């Protein structure tokens, strides 16, 4: 799936608001925890700014989560927005959103590890 830039920015915005509220942070308390200004957090949540990977890392630490968890949730939100915007494509196999590759490949990876005598990482 190719990511549409505006939908991706909206998904990032919704993710930041959602996880901040789930963790019961205000913009001010998240600012204090993350070292990111409250104004910048507000701009990200309004969709005026997009966080860099470094900013996402700071936010993940402050929110006691990982960048990979943020990424999984971001993809879920993006797919939801995509299907809202493109409902007619929902039944086409070629256009269906990709599931988490790691989940799909786990059985194959386990088989390869066992065949090679490797332990789980």
User: pLDDT by residue (tens digit) across 55-86?
Assistant: 999 999 999 999 999 999 999 999 999 999 88
Domains in the chain: boundaries: 5-90
Query: What class is the 5-90 domain?
Result: mainly alpha
pLDDT of residue 4: 87
The DSSP-derived string for 6-52 is: HHHHHHHHHHHHHHHHHTT--HHHHHHHHT--HHHHHHHHHTS----
In the predicted model, is pLDDT for residue 9 greater than 70? Answer: yes
Mean pLDDT of 16-44: 97
Integer angstrom CA distances of residue 43 from 9, 24, 50, 61: 12, 19, 8, 20
- 113 pLDDT band, cuts 50/70/90, is low
61 token code pair:
């630490």
| Residue 30's pLDDT band (cuts 50, 70, 90) | very high
């Amino acid at each position: 799936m190719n990511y549409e830039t505006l939908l991706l920015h909206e998904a990032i915005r919704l993710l930041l608001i959602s996880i901040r509220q789930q963790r019961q942070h205000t913009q001010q308390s998240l600012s204090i925890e993350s070292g990111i200004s409250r104004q910048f957090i507000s701009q990200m949540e309004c969709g005026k700014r997009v966080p860099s990977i470094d900013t996402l890392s700071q936010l993940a630490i402050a929110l006691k989560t990982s960048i990979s968890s943020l990424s999984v949730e971001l993809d879920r939100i993006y797919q939801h927005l995509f299907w809202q915007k493109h409902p007619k494509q929902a039944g086409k196999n070629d256009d269906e959103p990709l599931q988490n590759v790691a989940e799909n490949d786990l059985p194959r990876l386990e088989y390869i590890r066992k065949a090679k005598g490797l332990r789980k990482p």
